[in-house]
Structure 1
Amino acid sequence: MTEERRPTGGTPDPDSLFDALRDDRRRVVVRALLERGERSVEDLVNTVVAHEGGDDTRRSVALSLVHRHLPRLADAGFVEYDGPTGTVVGTPTLAATEPHLRLVSAGGGTSRLTADGDPTHRPD
């Protein structure tokens, strides 16, 4: 990943932020990294499998994290992902996602913003 693709100043780009938080597996990864800033891919795989109730195989989860979710989070500047060592580290920009993560995680349904910017909640 090159430096010029990362946001600066710890402020996430809104499109990158909402893209990152749109997927449940990425939200699980973000929560795990907010709790402890550095994790191994193996640890993140275990966290996702536990969150999903073990329905998916570890291999399937690992492949989706390594080839889809971690690169997307890295491209958006939320994590630094070192594939050869299997290490994932949250960036200062990741910390700025916490209030938004709470919003989309509240209540178990689909949270969204209305046209005037007020958060609402739609039950699934």
Structure 2
Amino acid sequence: MSTSDPHTLSRDEVYDILSNARRRFVIYYLRDRGEPVKLGELSDRVAAWENDVPVEELTDQQVKRVYVSLYQTHIPKLEDTGIVEYDADTGVVRLTSQVSDLDAYLPDEDEGSIPWQGIYLTLAVVGLAVYGVATAAQGAIPQSVLNAVGLLVFVSFGAVVIAQYLYERRNR
């Protein structure tokens, strides 16, 4: 367990903590779980994230490399700053209330995200409205116009799907 006195982290300390992707992921994962986690499980999750594979597909070498790094470097650094507590007897890592010092430096999860479901819903409603108008005005609107509008709705869905895929891939 950490023997350092709790204190407010300086900006330099926060930047140093957050400068490493593994430490950021550890903090994210512990927050997401909301409960203490064994170092082995944490190593599995970090290795899976880094290698972009499910935990079940990890090699022993991939997990070992992350475990050693977390055990020797990252967990002690997080413990020294008071962000986590590590119980060497049980191998359990838990966040402390000190983690709230990082909140001002971490973006909100939803901040800057695109409301994809709203875009899809809007396209669906517009498509349904066009279908309703076409059905109600059979014969009054030339078939070529209806075909063009239908194609436009279809292409719009495709464009949004591609945009979401590229956005998600870039932000992964």
User: Normalising to structure 2: TM-score of the pair?
Assistant: 0.52
Superposed, which structure 2 residues align to 1:1-124 within 5 Å?
A: 1-3=1-3, 5-8=4-7, 11-35=8-32, 36-53=34-51, 57-102=62-107
Q: How far 1:72 moved relative to its partner?
A: 0.3
Q: Any conservation in 2 of the 1:6–1:76 contact (CA below 8 Å)? A: no
Distance in 1 between residues matched to 2:48 and 2:37, nearest whole Å: 16
Rg bigger for which structure?
2
Report the number of matched residues.
Answer: 102
Structure number with greater CO (CA < 8 Å, separation at least 6) is 1
CA displacement 1:86-105 (0-9 Å, x = unmatched): 101101011331342328xx
Q: Any conservation in 2 of the 1:38–1:87 contact (CA below 8 Å)? A: yes
Corresponding letter in the other structure for 2:20: D
- Structure 1, gaps ≥5 residues long: 108-124
Distance in 1 between residues matched to 2:31 and 2:2, nearest whole Å: 23
Q: Any conservation in 1 of the 2:75–2:86 contact (CA below 8 Å)? A: yes
1:121 match: none
Identity within the alignment, %: 32
CA displacement 1:9-56 (0-9 Å, x = unmatched): xx3332221111000000000101112241110121111012102586
Larger relative helix fraction: 2
Q: How far 1:84 moved relative to its partner?
A: 2.0
Q: 1:45 to 1:20 in 2, by over 3 A?
A: same
2:157 match: none
User: What is the RMSD computed on CA atoms of the aligned residues?
Assistant: 2.3
- Structure 2, gaps ≥5 residues long: 113-172
User: Normalising to structure 1: TM-score of the pair?
Assistant: 0.71
Larger relative strand fraction: 1
Distance in 2 between residues matched to 1:66 and 1:42, nearest whole Å: 10
Distance in 2 between residues matched to 1:30 and 1:22, nearest whole Å: 12
Select between 39-48 and 57-66 the one with higher mean Cα deviation.
Answer: 39-48
Q: 1:45 to 1:85 in 2, by over 3 A?
A: same
